[in-house]
A and B are shown apart, each in its own frame.
Chain A
């Protein structure tokens, strides 16, 4: 079976990570190793097995639709790097046209 390749540079870009060349090589090796485990799992016959969304067989953990107190805006904004008029202020990121 062909060994799948992971494009570390692409994944790093998606995750907004800046990697040094040494790091890129290191992670490439590690991720390739992880992928090879999945290749082994892939060889197990799973026809008729329901896909698992969670490792624990627990379902339907709900809360009722009832309000609970949260933060006041003053408290919430204490963690803001910058704020004005009750808003978190961040650098503008616009998908430019």
Chain B
């Protein structure tokens, strides 16, 4: 029998705010000492009152607008009641009945190159819970994460394979980075996923029994968990077993999912409107002003880079993966006589030097985009050679400035004057008569040695192609094809 899988995801995205969702405590990373960014609100003290962070609302709506969601004119928060030490008020403030964003879609390109649409159900805003560390028979609780704003993006069960779910997450991350709404640092748990999946005979349209897999914090984990879980479900169905609607946990070490048998199987969260918060109203003017500030979709920008700047697809993809990098490149490439030169510098030296830097670093880089454009011009036209260009880039990274001025100030200009290089070639031949004779007698490799000597004498400033021509002209064209 043929089987068909249906996969839906709930992605919890940590928003790029300075402070928590309902209090002024800073959002911290995992290096912060435990319980160092806490207050009565996020510790759940009785009587402490939450006040909504305006920026968290803006970032969520911005994401919704980018993904084509409808933005609710009025939305509000609800209490989701449950008991667990990670949530001492015994309810999590979330959105249930009236989320900020509804509908929308993400375009996903699979490995087969075919584009599919994954529909979204909703995007809502909620607070993160504390982190529990289990130590023997006790648990230690750290509230630094409690109250951090999370945007939960819920999809329809539109994905048909683990690879498609993986491609969806990559596409989503790219958009979130482009919007600058989340740091998207997976090691810090900035993106966490819950999976819904089911398997049914291919000729049936009604979905099979739904199984939930909780709390995956890597994209690879999502793909691996799905591969194993869908296989397990299919094998069970083939053996004629009935599947149970349940929640399972992925164990990466065991490479399998395990049922989480909770005493309270049917979760009853008893949602009701949070009386401590006022509803949110987003006016048409505000919504439209946020829409007008949206960046270009990464996929569209990628295509434009290929057409406008003549970049190969791979380069265009790399340069549009992060909006900060794309903006930097575009500022440098605009007005360049050959944008491809700029792209080459970006793809090699710049990305290598900036490999570990956060996205924000690009905007404050001492190397201004215009300086990189100048540098690419100087190197591309052969005014300076490649090692010199890299040395200029070192200076630019250190203190910024203008490449032309740096080259002049340090006397680093490449010697491209035929007479000067010709003189250099004469001197090399004079000083290395025997090697020159070897070349005349057909030993092609001798030419490289002579070029090397010329470069050394000029302290790297000679134009190597010109030096080569001048040497060959003096030594006769017999071995011109060699070298």
Contact = CB atoms under 8 A, between A and B. Distances in A.
A94 interface: yes
A49 interface: no
A65 B19 contact: yes
B52 interface: yes
Contacts of A63: 24, 51-54
Contacts, number: 138
Interface stretch (B135-143, B160-168, B340-348, B379-387): B135-143
Nearest to B76: A53
A21 interface: no
A62 B141 contact: no
B142 A66 contact: no
Given A14-B270, A73-B38, A87-B35, A59 B279 contact: yes
Interface stretch (B115-123, B256-264, B455-463): B256-264
Contacts of A94: 134
Given A65-B56, A66-B18, A76 B38 contact: yes
**Residue from A50, A61, A88, A96 with most neighbouring chain B CB atoms (10 Å):** A88
Contacts of A45: none
B278 A60 contact: yes
Contacts of A95: 260-262
Interface in A79-97: 84-97
B85 A90 contact: yes
Contacts of A72: 36
A68 B24 CA distance: 5
Interface residues of A, number: 40
B106 interface: no
A42 interface: no
A89 B140 contact: yes
B37 A70 contact: yes
B39 A85 contact: no
Interface string B35-57: 11111101100000001111111
Contacts of B52: 61-63
B86 to A, nearest CB: 9
Contacts of B277: 61
B281 A60 contact: yes
B19 A14 contact: no
B448 interface: no
B1 to A, nearest CB: 31
A97 B280 CA distance: 40
B354 interface: no
A89 B270 CA distance: 28
B275 interface: yes
B207 interface: no
B477 interface: no
Nearest to B269: A14
A22 to B, nearest CB: 25
B133 interface: yes
A59 B249 CA distance: 40
26 contacts: A59-B278, A61-B52, A62-B52, A63-B53, A63-B54, A65-B17, A65-B19, A65-B53, A66-B24, A67-B25, A68-B19, A71-B39, A71-B43, A72-B36, A73-B38, A86-B33, A87-B133, A89-B138, A90-B85, A90-B138, A90-B141, A91-B137, A91-B139, A93-B84, A97-B249, A97-B260
Chain A to chain B: the 9 pairs with minimum beta-carbon distance, closest first: A68-B24, A87-B140, A70-B39, A65-B55, A53-B76, A62-B54, A86-B34, A73-B35, A53-B273
Interface of B: 17-19, 23-26, 33-40, 42-43, 51-57, 74, 76, 81, 83-85, 97-98, 133-134, 136-143, 249, 258-262, 264, 268, 270, 273, 275, 277-281
Given A65-B18, A85-B140, 5 more contacts: A70-B23, A73-B38, A90-B85, A93-B85, A97-B249
Interface of A: 14, 16, 50-51, 53-56, 58-73, 76-77, 84-97
